[in-house]
Amino acid sequence: MTETEKILARGCGREKVRPGEIVEVEVDRAMIHDNNAALVIGNFGKIVDASVRDPKRVAFFIDHHSPSTSTKAVKHQSLMRRFAKEHGIGLFYDCGQGISHIVMLEEALAGRGKIVVGTDSHTTGEGADGAFATGIGATEMAAVLATGRIWLRTPETVRVELAGHLSQNADVRDLMTQVLGRFGPEGANYCAVEFHGAGAEAMSREERVVCCVLSMEMGAKNALFASGEDTAECSRTERFDLRTVEPTIAIPSLPTNARPLSEVASQKIRIDQAFAGSCTGGLLRDLKKASEVVQGKKVAEGVRFLVIPASRKIYNEALALGYLKILHDAGAVIGSPACGACGGHDAGILAEKEVCIANSPRNMEGRMGAGGVVYLGSTATVAASAVAGHVTGAERD
């Protein structure tokens, strides 16, 4: 069995599960954030005689509108606080604590072999530590709160085999844009994605998060780094040689539209905003890289460079290490830990025809504002573009 199959077999109390089988599993962790909480709580209220089955397994996060930017959003957040108090949900991460996916890893709220569901598609990020983690909707989450269980179709497993190591010029984000480009937007739809090979084993936890979150963009049900080499049968294997990965950009309006950075940079596409943040781009490694690129330089005139650490812990570390000071001196706007900017929920909304370069996961039409367009690249690319005023790489003019 693949790692995913082993986790689901344990979750439903069976020796073995096969792809295609529908199983009912016990949920180890349920994550709900402020963008979907009002619908979850509303649906929960419609369940007759409902009580929260196991409040200790539930975690609430206010990370999409943090702090709130509208009267409706703030009402939903109050509703969350009341609900949590009423039902004894102690794991409550309020405004400014950071992005659910990252804080859950920091606080060890998921972990190897656990079954995690969240009202957010990028819940797949918990697979960095070896959890089966997947996104679900609000109605389903209301039922999970009440029953503690969920049905799942055992997915086929796609194996991504990573050989060698990235060159100094390339980043895991460049690799993943190439992976997404090869699979396409539904290349792994309904599938488990498991990362293997020497290149995968050598990856840091931060790099693993990037891989697991971005697997969602090719449709993955879950994505994870397995605990060791296994030879289980997979429905598909794709191999990537990390030594040959070059800086890569996803052009508008799909994260899978992979193009070599060199090709895009030659067009000198003028930018209005550069954004380093989110669950794929607001990690400590990103703040370090961004500060290295902009050190001693200034953000280009007319460009706003938004830097949003993914969690309070990361913010504090970046502060202590001097990264934030360097970024601030270069002219970056530092936001409080949250994830709203990635989807236009709070900071950094684009006007019509504006262009943004970002290291966040998505660039679908209207993602950061109606009529605005988003290019996706590595943190080095984002920071270099912020300084240049057009889409470019860190080591190019």
Partner 1 sequence: MNRCWKLGDNVATDEILPFQYMVLTEPSELGLHVLENVKPGFARQLAKGDILVAGSNFGYGSSREHAPLALKGAGTGAVIAKSFARIFFRNCINIGLPAIVCPAAANAISEGESVELDLKLGKISVICRDSGSKSTSYAFEPFPPFLLEYLLNGGLINTLNRTSQTQSNTRIQ
Residues lying near partner 1 in the complex (CB under 8 A) are found at 22, 35-36, 38-39, 42-43, 46-49, 65, 70, 72-73, 76, 119-121, 135-140, 142-143, 146-147, 151, 185-186, 189-190, 217, 219, 221, 254, 343-345, 362, 364-367, 370-371
Q: How far is the CB of 235 from partner 1 (least distance, A)?
A: 15
Peptide bond into 121 cis (omega under 30): no
Cβ distance to partner 1 smaller for residue 183 or 195: 183
Close Cβ partners of 239 (under 8 Å, ≥ 6 residues apart)? 161, 162, 163, 197
CB of 249 to partner 1, least distance (A): 18
Pairing assessment for the beta strands 192-196 and 222-225 based on DSSP bridges: parallel
> Nearest approach, Cβ of 266 to partner 1 (angstroms)?
27
Q: Is the Cβ of residue 33 or residue 173 nearer to partner 1 in the bound state?
A: 33
Residue 75 has φ and ψ, to the nearest 5°, of -65, -40
Assess contact for 7 and 23: CB atoms under 8 A: no
Minimum CB distance to partner 1 smaller for 155 or for 247: 155
Q: How far is the CB of 178 from partner 1 (least distance, A)?
A: 19
Other CB atoms within a 10 A radius of the CB of residue 14 amount to 12
Nearer CB in complex with partner 1: 22/198: 22
CB nearer to partner 1: pick between 188 and 245? 188
Tell the smallest beta-carbon distance from residue 291 to partner 1 (Å).
29
Least Å distance between CB 143 and partner 1? 6
Select 184 or 389, whichever has its Cβ closest to partner 1. Answer: 184
Nearer to partner 1, 153 or 239 (CB): 153
Write down the least CB distance from residue 156 to partner 1, Å: 12
Q: How far is the CB of 350 from partner 1 (least distance, A)?
A: 11
Residue 323: CB atoms within 10 Å? 26
48 or 108: CB nearest partner 1: 48
CB closer to partner 1, 263 vs 365? 365
Least CB distance from residue 33 to partner 1, whole Å? 10
